[in-house]
Structure 1
Amino acid sequence: MANPKIQELTLDLAELNQMFEQLKRPRNIDAILLQKKRIETELSNLRAQSQANPETQKVRTVNSEVKRYECDISNYAWDQSDKFVKFFIALDGVQDASEENVVVTFKPQSILLKVANVQNKDHKFEVNNLLQEIDVEKSYRKIKTNSVAIYAKKAVEGKKWSHLTSTEKKLADMKKSDMENDLASDKDPNAGLMNIMKKMYDSGDSETKRMIAKAWTEGQEKSRNPELQF
């Protein structure tokens, strides 16, 4: 039986998402984004607890294997050389996984890493809408101590990527353009930025919306907690 609290929070989040689509006032956008972040965090924690609690966890088998909880990996860094865009994904204990349990699917403009059965969980790292195309055949990964390194071969060698994804570049370009217009017209730059993000959220795909919500929430939390800035 589903956890009633999880069901309630899921309904709350769905309602907030509907409300967000109608918002135009900066203060309301700010408030809804923060509330969405809190609910998403609480949902994630409740789902993890539900899976870990022996009294509520049920054994589900597929081909006689226990179904594990899947986690999104958010702790990573990226860099680039003339030939490669390099990702360094932190994951404790990954060096103990078998080779066949660490799989990277390369596509011309996306990367999907799946790691099965590390600390009784499955893990996923995904990047879509890469700024430039990669050479799928010449891209590869290495398993290291507590991390996975992914080497995405640039289709055009020597070309420096200004951003990791086209979504990030689009947001940066729109921000720069609107900020310049607002400064020229003596408008509040912060209000301009909020309008940019609202426009992109309205017209973006699910990945764009996730990225904007995350960036906006983190920015607001840092502005309220100066000690988080570094």
Structure 2
Amino acid sequence: MSVVESLQADLAELERLLRQSERMAVRDVLEREMGLVRERLAQEMAASAAASDIANDAEAAQSVPMEVADDGDAVVWEAVNKLAWDQGGKNVTVYLSGLDGLDEVSEEQIEAKFRRDEVDVRVLGLAGGQRHVRLRFTPAEEITPSKCAVKRKAGGKMRIVLRKSETKHWVSLKAKSSGLGSLKPGKADAGEDPSAAIMNMMRKMYDEGDDTMKQAIGKAWTEARAKQGAGPAVE
């Protein structure tokens, strides 16, 4: 089972427990944990999308027709085979590597065209003029072309900095159908005690959680047991 599938299963289990829970304090803890799982799931899906972008780039490169350069020679564009990306605040940064010989090409051999809905970066003449690399895609969200840039780094590396038109989280680099999808709640095991399942889940969350999570669960547990006339049970 992949990390994404595992997180989806965890989320489905939490949703099932939330539906079975009747105590407000317990529901608050479960909803808080669901938020953390959703955030982690979004991050993992973004990382997975970035990895799939590499394969998509390779596939797209095979379908890119040969283009004619100014000197009349046909140019066969090669896919970028090493790509990663991240984001922070207003920018999305794309990291390219494996561009051997990038240090030796001139600025004129690096072409970058940015539109609100398109990124097109080309590097001509790598490896002594034998390689011509191109990365072209529609970003997941609109960008501000005038504030985008390409930065060449040592060791055959390049950074493409994209300025977001709106400061919001991107779940993928390229425009595509994305999101958490439809998560189907899991089925309860036959004969399983819902209350026991909730308590086991809360104890697991307590044991594996950080100080903030432990404090929240401890408080919820204490309040729940106080209503039952019992003392604290989480230590």
TM-score bracket for the superposition, by shorter chain length: 0.3 to 0.5
Greater relative contact order (Cα < 8 A, sep 6+): 2
Could you say which structure has the higher strand fraction?
Answer: 1
Task: Give the TM-score of the pair, scaled to structure 1.
Answer: 0.46
